Amino acid sequence: MTTQKRKKAGAAEAANGAVLVLHGPNLNMLGSREPDIYGRTTLASIHNAMAARARVAGVRLESFQSNHEGELIDRVQSAREQGVGFIIINPAAYTHTSVALRDALAAARGLAGAQRWAARLRLIEIYEGWRGAMAELAAP
- 80 vs 131: CA distance, rounded Å: 38
| Burial environment of residue 85 by CB neighbours within 10 A (0 to 12, 13 to 18, 19 or more) | buried
User: Can you give the pLDDT at residue 138?
Assistant: 31
Q: Sign of torsion, CA 11 12 15 20? A: negative
This prediction's pTM:
0.73
pLDDT 10s per residue in the chain (140 long)? Answer: 444 544 554 454 444 579 999 999 999 999 999 888 888 999 999 999 999 999 999 999 999 999 999 999 999 999 988 888 889 988 888 887 888 888 888 888 765 555 556 666 666 554 454 444 443 333 22
What count of other Cβ atoms lies within 10 Å of the Cβ of residue 94? 19
Q: Where along the chain do its domains lie?
A: 3-138
User: Can you give the pLDDT at residue 121?
Assistant: 62
Q: Sign of torsion, CA 60 29 121 38? A: positive
CATH code of domain 3-138: 3.40.50.9100
